[in-house]
Structure 1
Amino acid sequence: MTRWTRRKFVGLTGATLLAAADPKAALAQALPRVVVVGGGIGGATVARYLAALAPPIHVTLVEPKERYVTCFFSNLFLAGLRTLDSLSHGYRSLAEKSGVMIVHEAATGIDPVARTVELKSGSRLPYDRLVLAPGVSFRLDAIEGYDEAATEVMPHAWNAGPQSVLLRRQLESMEDGGVFLIVVPPDPFRCPPGPYERASLVADYFKRHKPRSKILILDAKDAFKPQDVFQEAWSRHYPGMIEWLPAQFTGATKAVDVGTRSVITEGETFKAAVANVIPPQRAGALAIETGLADKSGWCPVDPMTFESTLQRNIHLVGDAIIGGDMPKSAFSANSQAKACAFAIAAELAGSRQFAPHLFNSCYTFLARDDAFTNALNFRPDPVTGKIKVVDSFVSKVGESAELRRKTARHAIGWYAAFTRDTFG
């Protein structure tokens, strides 16, 4: 069957006008319609895999940005080890090779009764099934004094792009001997090892360019995983440069003073030359506004199909969901997206559905030539209805320098293969 493909899809005013504008649209209208909102890892993956499955499905991906910058590996950019362009990915292959219709416009609302997605232009996209991959939003009000304006002075850089560029410029202009302060939020948040990898790679940069500088980590937790691997590497690579303070010592971050670049905890005020404040997080704004999140701020889903338990015919994947044992990582989003695509295709075809086998695999850098890996397998638990880890592998303390160098090399290949699987 011929699939209707176009690079861009704009000015939608109704099915009749669309069919008149493009005769192939009449054929597309006869196919089941799945709209995917959010062009990050989860959204791009589910769109690509849905478009490849049988029976044929008309897939539309709604994403306002022309290019997506990966959060994973963005710490390498901060350390001067990758360019931002090398972390940026477009949607041309999804459109031209996979047949996904790309709408570069913001989704502003969802009508779950009429089954339509409203776009910023006022147009509406009808759907039979909707998939949201909204990512996270930041609870800026959780830290007194930290708001949108404050992010331009004390950046979070937890969405890769302009914030990453701002933080890197601040690090480059910082005088040798200054303090780089990282505020780590409470669980759950996107990429659990990310703040500690950031400390490691900025330390790698300091070691080369600003050797008298220090890094201070103010954590909202009393422990993190895999703490022993990180702290062993910090002692080996950067002795005396990185200090980690758990919440039990500080009472966690309460406020910031943007004017003095200070972070205020329950018992002390810490002044920094550069402050990287990563705020607490919750599901993306569109999911919150649509009533897809519960009181926790995250979205409950059926772990078999990733359909919302609060709204029928709407599925969610990625960082926004309550994922049980699955971490909020890019690979988790990719794995969930594939399971979601298969579940939607099975539902539309009226065929049998099988319990998904879910994975997470990621690489974390401790230095430019030192990285560790973890791999986890998950399955939905039929008793609890939650996603549970069934087996895992995590790098250990004491691995040889050669093994860690080899892992760092593998990480580069992993990134290339992973983003190709997502964006085509």
Structure 2
Amino acid sequence: MTINRRIFLGTAAAATMAAPMVMGASHGRPRVVVIGGGAGGATAARYVAKDSKGEIDVTLVEPTRSYYTCFFSNLYIGGFRELSSIAHSYGTLASEYGINVVHDWAVGIDRDAKTVSLAGGDTLPYDRLILSPGIDFVEGAVPGWDISQQGRMPHAYKAGSQTELLKAQIEAMPEGGVFAMVAPPNPYRCPPGPYERVSMVAHKLREENPTAKILIVDPKQNFSKQALFEEGWAKHYGGMIERIGPDFGGENVSVDPMAMTVTIDGAVENVDACNVIPAQKAGRICELAGITEGNWAPVVPQTMQSRMDENIHVLGDATNQGDMPKSGFSANSQAKVAAMAVRGALTDSRVFPAKFSNTCWSLIDTEDGVKVGATYEATDEKIAKVDGFISDTGEDEDLRRQTFEESLGWYAGITSDMFG
């Protein structure tokens, strides 16, 4: 099915209920606190506030005043979008939906007292807590790199200033220089994301620095949409991109940001710009709340409740939920399920069976768009894939252009769904 803004927003209708009768609470209106203002958190806050028609008190905690979407940030690197086009504010959530938007860092959760501590010193009480903090990085995942080195070797996997920095470093490469990417191990945010980024870097270099080279150091044997990307790289960027997988040292890599070198299985490569995308884990607030197992937060698929605390729901990249990829579309889909479950718990509103979907679009070159997606259902064990689809290799240019245009409609739709 082709997705545009109207159809995407229409899928939200199933999660919208009539105004509920609020169940009694000794402190007045039930209180919901949402931590993280991205595709999961902003959507959840908006749907709880909108569909309860103000009968639930909603607070959204997000440190940034302008939120830059990771999805479509690669298109900024490639020169297809301005940075301002992926920046969004929270004004409409506050003014039209009555959400109390707090720009601060959540630094602690007292699950017994049901309170959230903020870096500024305030404490927020809650009846239900929704966590959608995105990702943090596993310390020591890439020897020689830590977060203090993100100025020399950016990760750019949290959009905004890091994305600007990476683009500037690519633009500053000498003629015939080398751009390196250290790709992450599974699981990680946006499975096709690193490879779309390579495509966008290649597009930019082809236009501005055509003798430059791209080196991908990858610990994985395979990656999302691999056949589609490799076909596109051969077609559009022949000879520019080299990928070193685990069989040739991609699992044994270290970096030296001061010397600007990447060492692969003992061989030292001098590079001019380097994008290090480390192994990832749930945003730190999940760990501080004590709701993680390993690197991720396990959840109950039907409600997105933490398996360790029924009063906490976890969304998006931070979760261990089953078959869904860690993507903005997934987080948005999960947010609607969680919002409905929260309303059901705090009011007498009806709760419908959970349904989930996801599509990930990638741009390989001008109007050469590809996609992969699936639908999912909640089982007792996990969110399970029901069926899926993926673009074919060898598609004609018109179909690829339509796929790219479909992605533009989806972006307009999801950001409207998130921020109102």
What is the TM-score when the length of structure 1 is the normalising length?
A: 0.90
The residue type paired with residue 52 of structure 2 is A
Say if 1:301 and 1:315, in contact at 8 Å, map to a contact too: yes
- Report the alpha carbon displacement of residue 352 of structure 1 after superposing the two structures with TM: 5.4
CA distance in 1, matches of 2:147, 2:395: 42
The answer as to whether partners of 1:250 and 1:268 remain within 8 angstroms in 2 is: no
SS at match of 2:310: coil
How far has the Cα of 1:348 moved from its partner? 1.6
Equivalent in 402, 409, 413 of residue 405 of structure 2: 409
Distance 1:83 1:29 in 2: 46
* C-alpha deviation, 1:86, in angstroms: 0.7
Residue 334 of structure 2 is aligned with which of 333, 336, 344? 336
Q: Does 1:159 align with 2:158?
A: yes
Structure 1 segments, 4+ long, off by >3 Å, are 350-354
Counterparts of 1:253 and 1:43, CA distance in 2 = 36
- Could you tell me how far apart the structure 1 residues matched to 2:177 and 2:251 are? 22
What is the deviation of 1:165? Answer: 0.9
Distance in 2 separating the partners of 1:407 and 1:196: 17
What whole-Å deviation, never above 9, does each CA across 1:179-208 have from its counterpart, x for those lacking one?
111110100000110010001111111111
| 1:84-163 matches, cutoff 5 A | 84-163=83-162
- Counterpart in 1 of 2:357? 359
Structure 1: distance between partners of 2:26 and 2:216? 53
**8 A contact 2:175–2:209 mirrored in 1:** yes
* Deviations 1:51-106, CA, capped at 9 Å, x for gaps: 01237211110111111000011111111221111100000111111121111111
Q: Distance in 2 between matches of 1:269 and 1:188?
A: 27
Unaligned runs of 5+ in 1: 1-26
In the alignment, which residue of structure 2 is the partner of 1:57? 56
Correspondence for 1:31 among 18, 22, 29 = 29
Deviation per CA, 1:219-258, whole angstroms, max 9, x where unpaired? 0101112111110111111111111111121141432111
Please state how far the C-alpha of 1:140 moved relative to its aligned partner.
3.5
Counterpart of 1:390 in structure 2 is: 386
3-state secondary structure, aligned to 2:130: strand
Matches within 5 A, 1:315-330: 315-330=313-328
One-letter amino acid of the structure 2 residue matched with residue 197 of structure 1: E
For residue 349 of structure 1, report the CA deviation from its aligned partner.
2.2
Does the C-alpha gap of structure 1 residues 69 and 253 become closer, same or farther in structure 2, counting only changes over 3 Å? farther
Mark the CA change 1:403 to 1:313 in structure 2 (over 3 Å): closer, same or farther: same
Q: What is the rounded CA distance, in whole Å, between the counterparts of 1:359 and 1:251 in structure 2?
A: 32
Q: Does 1:399 align with 2:398?
A: no
| 1:213-232 matched pairs, under 5 angstroms | 213-232=212-231
Q: Report the counterpart of residue 310 of structure 1 in structure 2.
A: 308
Distance 2:133 2:272 in 1: 33
Kindly, what percent of the aligned residue pairs are identical? 46
Rounded to whole Å, the distance in 1 between the matches of 2:160 and 2:73 is 9
- Which range moved further: 254-263 or 286-295? 254-263
Aligned residue pairs total 395
Q: For residues 262 and 191 of structure 1, what CA distance do their matches in structure 2 show? A: 26
Partner of 2:79: 80
